[in-house]
Structure 1
Amino acid sequence: MTKLIYTQLLEACSPGGASVLTSVTELAPAGGAHAAVAPAKFVVGTNSVFAYETRYIDGEPLVAVVIDSKSSQLNRVEQPISFAVVDGHPVLSRIPRIRVSYDNESYTDIELPHRCFDGHIRAGSVDGKPVTDHAAYRAARDASPSDARALLEMSPVSLVLGAWDSSRRTHQGRYRSALVGEIVGVLADQGPDAKTPPLRGGARVDPVAMSVQLSGSDMEKLVKAQESELSSKNINGIREDVKKAKTKPLSASPLGLGGIPPTLNALGAVACRRITRTHVLSFSALRQLRFGADEAGNAACRSLLAALALNGLARSDAELSLRANCDLVELGPATVLLDQRYGKNLELEPLTITEADALLESAIEQAAKKAGIRWEGQIFEVVGNPVVLRGAIEESDE
């Protein structure tokens, strides 16, 4: 096996190059084969459910569960990039980005869900004027796959991980994610009850008292004292209970007082015989993009985006942090294959973070040399709209 080098990336991003690069890692529960893992939860109606699917594995269709979805895996690529930028990493801090600021908090297009087209950005202002009227932002918003240069120099993460200007009346920018990934687990039980959701119990012990019963007036006093910190949904629910109870005492459990007896009504965890993490970087998707340069310059720009994707992948692979009760470990190194067309593949060694940084640095230099692309850590600063901040609550009432 060999290490991926820049010239291979450039070749893959040129016409007739590789279709994809794939990275597949076999994982296992950190607690051992006997340990169950908590898959991702999805909402159907008012219920939380696991996503069960049939996957073709080792020559047969098997029942599997989605442990981490495509969107979650992209979030796990974004986070370490964002952290590195905040920490002033010498290479990643050169990434152009959009930053929207509310009071003492700020967010960039790297972590905002719709990236460069995010509602927080579009609702903001620059120099007291709507950001949507700013020439630089309009240029990025008006970019297209036939010339995405303005977007490459303002929000390259949008071109790598995907963005859709879905609320715009016309000329909606729509860029698919060039990098996709997921983690799936093959269920240990392949019988007729394989998709029956397991249940897990929960309880709370209060060392002061297992039950705290208060009068309506006392409940109101506690609510009023904490009103600025409680969610509106919780406050409204408590006050409705106070009205209904009239003179009867109320349980103070909504305020975190008293214990909760064990119940068995929450989605639990599942046993898996095999867990696999898969990522695919599509060079075919990147080759649909042009940047107002000649063929060599366009290939260099695509290589820059590919190097950014691989850097995020190397960093996210090193952080197997999904959710509580879903701690995983690698059973071995990732199997990385570079498509060679016509059914052939070249196996590569997985990139380390250090190697991925060096690859990205080379790609930045080559894109500047061949296409004049400027990646100097430029930040398009947006002032967040205070109306949005005033309407922000921790928990939705809907």
Structure 2
Amino acid sequence: MNLDLQTLADAVAGTAAAFRCITGYQPVGGPSDKVFPPTYDGGKYATEDRIDPKTGELRQCVLLDSVQSQTNRMELALLEALRANRVTLPLLVTRFDQETLPKKFVVSSLEAPHRVADALFRDSLLDGVKFRDSEAGRVLDKADVRNATGLFGLCPTALVFGLWDSTGPRGGLGAKFQRALVSEIIGYDAVPGVNTSSRIDPAAIEKRAGPVFRTESGDWTLSATDARKGKGGKPVLYKPNSRGQDVIYDPAGNKDVPDQGRPSTLNHGNVTPDIAYARDNNNRIQYETRIDERGEEVKVRPRIRGGFTISRAVQTTTLSLAVLRRLRFPLDSAVDSDHQVDLAARTALAALGLAAGTLAREDVDLRSRCHLFADGESAWQLLDRPGEEPAEFVLDPDAALDLLTVAIQAAKAAGLPWEGVIELSPAPELVQLVQRSQDLTSKGESEAG
């Protein structure tokens, strides 16, 4: 069944709980091919037992794409549609294209972590005025579920994907909007595998060809004379130790060249074939652990980054209409909102969520060695009356964008704002901060803020 604007508006105006889309996938290499999930702190995969809806039994599952990651993919899918002129959306943009920056880039409200409330926009200027002090920026100060009109016109995706204005003047008391669109991809019957790593150096550089030293400029040299000098005037090896300290080299006291002076620190030389273990930032192998009978954590075995084979992958996307119904959209500084205006805004937001969820399904290449292919056509189910089979609607990307376009037109006809692209420029202090960070990165001295 096709989904038109009237059907969508009726669903939003009624008592339906949500739209739901469940899509099954296999790896592009086939059911027996291995997939590599995202890794978390310490090289861990996110695994858990879940109930298989097909059998009702517990199954070992692995998270292939989290809610946060799926949200980012949906936002980027909308951004690509906007860039291709397939849809018109309000967009906040700040351009880091100043001559002083070695690396130039652009950040939009569909890319920034906190969307329109991101610190990058807070620290940017609109026509020479701090964004949060401008007329557009002050929208965030007044926004809440009872008055989402300004935010609808400035950044409607914030009302679909959620927002917390924690970087603004009110800090943690800033505007909060619940996420209406949620999606994740899970792999069922996850069996951990083994992965190997190796490298053959065509130049056949041996570790005994070192030591390599660090110069004052941070480059490398084989000359102890040209090397940076440490304690006692001794040359400093190229790589610091695990504590970030310089390692000096004394030929008389060092029978073997320490690891910090091997050519491998420059990515030269062979890498002996080995199991791909999870390692920390200091290249130390991480271990699976357990709590023993004394309550102490003990190592069990090395943690292997070997991916998984799975029986199937399932993507579940839900769009909560209940969340959208809580939003009010008063016009012209009125205290109360008009029901028809509320309905037009909520319907447009629902269409925006459906479009985002549909567009993101065009590309399910999640990361290296985790490319999925759908088992069949996706359909959105409308969860309306309990106990009844949900109505199903087929939406391809073009149909989803057409639906969004007519919903936007209806919202604008109801008097709701719908901005275009708003161009900001980063404040001089922000440009300087970015420049310093880029300089440190180019010197290999980067560290999380």
TM-score, with length taken from structure 1: 0.86
The aligned runs of 1:108-187 (5 Å cut-off) are 108-167=108-167, 168-169=170-171, 171-187=173-189
TM-score (norm 2): 0.77
Deviation at residue 255 of structure 1 after TM alignment: 2.1
Shift of residue 358, structure 1, vs aligned partner: 0.8
The one-character-per-residue Cα deviations of 1:33-80 (angstroms, maximum 9, x if unpaired) are: 21111112121xxx1111112211121222211111101111110112
Match of 2:43 among 45, 48, 69: 48
**Comparing both structures, which one devotes a greater share of its residues to helix?**
1
How far does residue 309 in structure 1 lie from its aligned partner after superposition?
1.3
Deviations 1:164-192 (A, max 9, x none): 11243364111122110011011255xxx
Residue pair 1:39, 1:326 contacting (<8 A) in 2 also: yes
Q: What does residue range 202-281 of structure 1 map to in structure 2 within 5 Å?
A: 202-212=197-207, 213-217=209-213, 219-220=214-215, 223-224=218-219, 237=240, 243-247=247-251, 249=257, 250-264=261-275, 265-266=277-278, 267-281=305-319
Structure 2, unmatched stretches of 5+, are 98-103, 222-236, 279-304, 331-336
Tell me if structure 2 keeps the 8 A contact 1:337–1:345. no
Residue by residue, what CA displacement relative to the aligned partner does 1:247-304 show, whole Å, maximum 9, x if unpaired? 4652122222222112211411111112111100111111111111411111110111
Q: 1:76 aligns with which of 45, 49, 73?
A: 73
Alignment check: 8 A CA contact 2:36 2:368 kept: yes
- Structure 1 window deviating more from structure 2 (19-28 vs 242-251): it is 242-251
Q: Residues 114-167 of structure 1: CA distance to partner in whole angstroms, max 9, x if unpaired? A: 101111111222333322222320123421110111111111111111111124
Whichever of the two has the greater Rg, that structure is: 2
Structure 1 gaps, min length 5: 190-196, 227-233
| C-alpha distance in structure 2 between counterparts of 1:141 and 1:54, whole Å | 42
Q: Percent identity?
A: 28
Shift of 1:235: 7.6
CA distance in 2: counterparts of 1:301 and 1:325, whole angstroms: 40
Distance 1:263 1:12, change over 3 A: same
> Which residue matches 2:433?
388
CA RMSD of aligned residues (A): 2.5
Between the two proteins, the alignment pairs up a number of residues equal to 374
SS at match of 1:65: strand
- In 2: Cα distance, 1:130 partner to 1:198 partner: 52
Contact 1:68 1:182 (8 Å CA) reproduced: yes
User: 2:65 & 2:30 partners in 1: Cα distance?
Assistant: 19
- 2:352 alignment partner in structure 1: 308
- Structural mapping, 1:306-385, within 5 Å: 306-370=350-414, 372-375=415-418, 377-384=420-427, 385=430
Instruction: Measure how far apart 1:325 and its partner are.
Output: 1.1
Q: Secondary structure at the match of 2:34?
A: coil
